[in-house]
Amino acid sequence: MSAIKKRERVSILADVEGKLLAQIRSYKPNMLARLQSVLTENPEALRMIFENIHSVAKDAKEAEQGKQGAGSDPAPDNYVLMNIQKGPGLGESLSPEEGRKLIADISQDVPLDAWVNSKVMGVGALAKQLGIVPQTIANWRNQHKILALRKGVRNFVYPIRQFNRNAPVEGIAEVWKHFEDDETAWEWLVTKNYGMDGALPIDRLLEGRADEVVSAAEGSVDF
């Protein structure tokens, strides 16, 4: 490969990388935490992304060759990469230094107080406060009677706002059924819901209005 062609490919890939990182930078803190968790637990996800990019590039190249018709020069191998920069893009590009800093930031634990809207405790401290054994908390989590938020790769913390005295508030398990994971369910519970006059769903659960909250959760497909 010539030095010019090599520099061209490096430049294109750097531009794409910068735009992807700019998009990631726009995510909410809880979305970044979920992204970190998914990539940590599913290393094959990155391989699937690369395979999808290859498939899209192949389809785009074939489509362009079809437009050119017989007798026209074939689209170059790097046709898709050459034309990525022609679209509106994903936002402002980042410099290599900004990209490296963003990757380092994403790899750190996202501060839970940025979105959880509740004091959180680890299993040991929570069990002590509630006067129960840690296994009870594990059972509640497995039954989705309480929501557990990831802190790091293997650890969980629990928002204490989901407890009424020393037991889970009624309705958590029914709400959880309508969301893809605990983090998304909890974010919905602590976000103002204008179908409930701007109240927080978790507060309505604490008031004993589980049926109202579960009904609202059923209609939250696009949350």
* Domains in the chain: ranges and CATH: 3-108 (no CATH), 113-218 (1.10.1660)
Our CA angle for 80, 82, 8, nearest 5°, is: 135
Query: pLDDT tier at 118 (50, 70, 90 boundaries)?
Result: confident
Rounded Cα–Cα distance for residues 63 and 68 (Å): 9
3-class SS of residue 167: strand
Rounded Cα–Cα distance for residues 137 and 213 (Å): 23
> What pLDDT score was predicted for residue 62?
73
Our CA angle for 135, 140, 142, nearest 5°, is: 95
3-class SS of residue 1: coil
Greater model confidence, 15 or 156: 156
- Residues 179-200, mean pLDDT to the nearest whole number: 92
> What pLDDT score was predicted for residue 152?
77
Rounded Cα–Cα distance for residues 195 and 133 (Å): 38
| Tokens matching residue 186 | 């909890």
Q: Is the pLDDT reported for residue 4 higher than 60?
A: no
Q: Is the pLDDT reported for residue 162 higher than 90?
A: yes
For the beta sheet containing 155-159, the strands, ordered from the edge strand earlier in sequence to the opposite edge, are 120-121, 155-159, 149-151
User: How many residues are present in the chain?
Assistant: 223
Q: Is the pLDDT reported for residue 183 higher than 80?
A: yes
| Tokens matching residue 138 | 């594990």
Rounded Cα–Cα distance for residues 147 and 118 (Å): 12
3-class SS of residue 36: helix
> What pLDDT score was predicted for residue 128?
95
Is the CB of residue 61 less than 8 Å from the CB of residue 79?
A: yes
| pLDDT single digits (tens) 62-92 | 776 776 665 555 555 554 444 444 444 445 5
Rounded Cα–Cα distance for residues 191 and 198 (Å): 9
Tell me the pTM: 0.53
Rounded Cα–Cα distance for residues 124 and 158 (Å): 11
Residue reference for tokens 């893809």: 180
